[in-house]
Amino acid sequence: MIFLDAAATTPIRREALDAMWPYLSGEFGNPSSHHSLGEAAATALAEARTGVAKVLNCRAGEVTFTSGGTEADNLAVKGIALARRATDPSLSRVVISAIEHPAVEESARYLQRVHGFDVDVVPVDSEGMVTVAALRAVLRPDTALVSIMYANNEIGTVQPVAELAAVAREYNVPFHTDAVQAAGWLPVDVKALGVDAMSISGHKLGAPKGSGVLFTRGRLRVEPLVHGGGQERGRRSGTENVAGAVALSSALRLSHADQQEQAARVSVLRDGFINRVLQAVPDSMLTGHRSLRLPSVASFCFPGTSGESVLLELERLGVVCSSGSACAAGSDAPSPVLLALGIAPETAQTAVRFSFTSAVTDAELEQAAAAVETAVGRVRKLAPQ
């Protein structure tokens, strides 16, 4: 099997598994317990936090461990917007882009539905880019928060986060970015990016599912969503997932140790794959930005097919990928991300995403491109004329 669905999830890195194992077995203490077992767990958690903070170039106290990317996004969008409005009731708008993950979009809709916020949606261009001008056009004195993702999970387009965050700063509006897809591949130095909040998910970068991080800058207040014992500086109650935090810290540090080399190497493989597919299926269409995209994502529409059918044929041929985002799987509706790019619904339904781990090889991608040609050919032959 050739696994080309790494944007959905990745296997746990061996080193991360080794790092977390003690906290699932002998060192099983609760970090809040006042005995040696608890203290060992608290120390491991503190070290994991420091490890994450080093990669993010922030303070350990600015790192909140969560149950994953979805919770980090929820905490950022709801938690920051609600805390800001509590200090200034006029702050009642949130800005998101048109291609956010449902974890951000649905959090914003919740604020609208339940708390009476207005949601301003910044459009993207046909390659999925948010421009500085487009953001400027929606910012208002009563904007409480801007949330624009770093890299898109379906098309891989990478936003100019530092420039967008700088615009938000001009208006004194905190800027959150969902870096769930970006964190394994791109720099996540929060000072260089100038972001006030950033979400990361463990399982996209070699840590287990159910581990995540929300960075929040300094004194930026966050209204907690989960109440209880006051763990994570009161930002997120609940006994901490010590093993998950340790694994996330390990995987994040490892992926950033050689991030530039891996990104450069895999980008070359990605471009080779894109060219092969565009040649093999001449009327196929690359979605997202041609070059400002994740090293690990190549996404296409294959007109005259259905993405789901191509996916099934590819699996028969030994290639595993995705017909959209895994989070939207099970739904027949065309992807809102592709529609936001201006792609017609019938074309959007033909989308297939290939996403790689850093272990991907050129030989695998050559085989996968040949499988794409066969799969698309088979689906078109079967399609009613």
First to last CA, the chain: 32
- Contact assessment for residue 221 and residue 197, using Cβ atoms and an 8 Å cutoff: no
Q: Which of 294, 27, 76, 325 is nearest to 187 (CA)?
A: 294
Nearer to ligand PLP, 73 or 196 (CB): 73
Minimum CB distance to ligand PLP, residue 326 (Å)? 6
Nearer to ligand PLP, 190 or 371 (CB): 190
CA–CA separation, 149 and 152 (whole Å): 7
Minimum CB distance to ligand PLP, residue 121 (Å)? 16
Minimum CB distance to ligand PLP, residue 247 (Å)? 13
- Contact assessment for residue 242 and residue 19, using Cβ atoms and an 8 Å cutoff: no
Chain-centre distance of CA 265, in angstroms? Answer: 21
Question: How many other C-beta atoms can be found within 10 angstroms of the C-beta atom of residue 191?
Answer: 10
Nearer to ligand PLP, 29 or 212 (CB): 212
Minimum CB distance to ligand PLP, residue 153 (Å)? 3
- Contact assessment for residue 148 and residue 77, using Cβ atoms and an 8 Å cutoff: no
Based on the residue annotation, tell me whether 321 is a catalytic residue of this protein.
Answer: no
Interacting residue ranges for ligand PLP, rule: CB under 6 A: 68-70, 73, 101, 103, 149, 153, 178, 180-181, 201, 203, 212, 327
- Which residues make beta-bridge pairs with 94? 119, 145
Residues 6+ apart with CB under 8 A from 363: none
Nearer to ligand PLP, 180 or 311 (CB): 180
- Contact assessment for residue 365 and residue 280, using Cβ atoms and an 8 Å cutoff: no
CA–CA separation, 73 and 217 (whole Å): 15
CA distances from 131 to 112, 122, 125, 146 (A): 24, 9, 8, 14
- Which residues make beta-bridge pairs with 96? 121, 147
Minimum CB distance to ligand PLP, residue 369 (Å)? 24
CA–CA separation, 385 and 317 (whole Å): 24
Minimum CB distance to ligand PLP, residue 101 (Å)? 4
Which residues are catalytically annotated? 327
